Amino acid sequence: MVTDLAEVFRLGTEKAKENLAFRRYLAEHHTPETPFQIVASEVQRHIDCTACANCCRNSQVALSAADIDRIATYLGTTPDAVTRHYTDPDPDAPSSRILRTTGSACVFLDGNLCRIYAARPKPCRDFPHVAPGDHSLGGRPSSHARWAPLCPIIYNALEDYKHRTGFHLHRHRHAG
């Protein structure tokens, strides 16, 4: 299993075209998402997310009213204060809110740790969206391909799943 972030980034970037071909292969073979989600959930058990936190550096996190309320309660403040100090309007939906980023990371990221971990928003709790039965936007194969260079869980799950589906064998049969 590859866990070095520089190596995950290098290999994930290097395999971008292969991952696109794999997405197409899965679509052509009408492969359901659940087997990939099972593989990814197994990989996730072996990865320490606090050694990475790339999701906190590369995500735009949409917040629900419940997320804002939970953060406010955790911080001992009001939802209005959370909205004012820790969120920004969503550029794609100005009436919605997203977590603010400062520099190149979530406002709540301290090193690789979340300062509001116990109250983190649902999209953060669900990342990398690989739980069996998760059919969120983040759980789609196109999202997995985008995250492969950034998330050791996604990178390793994709590589494992390519082998399990026979993708590499399929490619080599048609290449020769």
SS (H, E, C) the chain: CCCCHHHHHHHHHHCHHHHHHHHHHHHHCCCCCHHHHHHHHHHHCCCCHHHCCHHHHHCCCEECHHHHHHHHHHHCCCHHHHHHHHEEEECCEEEEEEECEECCEECCEECCEECCHHHCCHHHHHCCCCCCCCCCHHHCHHHHHHHCCCCHHHHHHHHHHHHHHCHHHHHHHHHC
Residue 99 or residue 174, greater confidence:
99
Q: What is the pLDDT of residue 29?
A: 85
At 172, is the pLDDT very low, low, confident or very high (cuts 50, 70, 90)? very low
Q: How confident is the model at residue 136 (pLDDT cuts 50, 70, 90)?
A: low
Of the candidates 120, 146, 147, which has an alpha carbon nearest to the alpha carbon of residue 44? 147
**Mean pLDDT throughout 75-97?**
95
Of residues 175 and 162, which shows the higher confidence score? 162
Q: Which of 63, 67, 73, 49 is nearest to 127 (CA)?
A: 49
Average pLDDT, integer, range 121-149: 77
Burial degree of 147 (CB within 10 A; 0-12, 13-18, 19+): buried
22-81: pLDDT as tens digits:
988 888 888 888 888 899 999 999 999 989 999 999 989 999 999 999 999 999 999 999
* pLDDT at residue number 170: 56
- What are the domain boundaries of the chain? 5-55+128-175, 60-126
pLDDT at 135 over 70: no
pLDDT of amino acid 48: 92
The answer to whether 119 and 6 have CB atoms below 8 angstroms apart is no
Higher pLDDT, 97 or 146: 97
